[in-house]
Homo-oligomer: A and B are copies of this chain.
Amino acid sequence: MLTAERRRSIMQILQRDGKVLASELSKALQVSEDTIRRDLNELATAGELHRVHGGALPRSPVTASFTERQQQAPGVKAAIAQAAIGLIRRDQVILLGGGTTLLQVAQQLPPDLRATVITHSPPVALALAVYPEIEVIVIGGKLYKHELVTVGAATVEAYRNIRADLCLLGIGSLHPEVGISTFDLEEAYVKRAMIASAAEVVALTSAEKIGTAAPYIVGPLSDLTHLVTERSVPNEVLAPYRALGITIVRA
Show the binding face of A for B, using Cβ within 8 Å.
2-5, 8, 15, 18-19, 21, 46-48, 50, 52-55, 57-58, 60-63, 67, 70-71, 74, 111-112, 120, 122-123, 125-130, 132, 135-143, 145, 148, 150, 154, 158
List the number of copies, as a whole number. 2
Complex contact B145–A57 (CB within 8 A): no
Among the listed B52, B111, B143, which residue makes an inter-chain contact with A125, where contact means beta carbons less than 8 Å apart? B143
Complex-state Cα separation, A139 to B154, whole angstroms: 9
Complex contact A130–B61 (CB within 8 A): yes
Complex contact A112–B15 (CB within 8 A): yes
Complex contact B141–A52 (CB within 8 A): no
List of B residues within 8 angstroms of A125 by Cβ? 122, 143
- Shortest distance from the beta carbon of A30 to any chain B beta carbon, whole Å: 16
Complex-state Cα separation, A96 to B52, whole angstroms: 31
Mostly, the A contact residues are mixed
Among the listed B8, B54, B140, which residue makes an inter-chain contact with A2, where contact means beta carbons less than 8 Å apart? B54
Among the listed B3, B67, B137, B145, which residue makes an inter-chain contact with A140, where contact means beta carbons less than 8 Å apart? B137
Complex contact B138–A150 (CB within 8 A): yes
- Shortest distance from the beta carbon of A18 to any chain B beta carbon, whole Å: 7
Complex contact A129–B112 (CB within 8 A): no
Known contacts A129-B143, A138-B143; 18 further A-B pairs (Cβ under 8 A): A2-B54, A2-B55, A3-B52, A5-B19, A47-B70, A62-B130, A63-B130, A122-B123, A122-B138, A123-B126, A129-B145, A129-B148, A137-B141, A137-B142, A138-B140, A138-B141, A138-B142, A140-B141
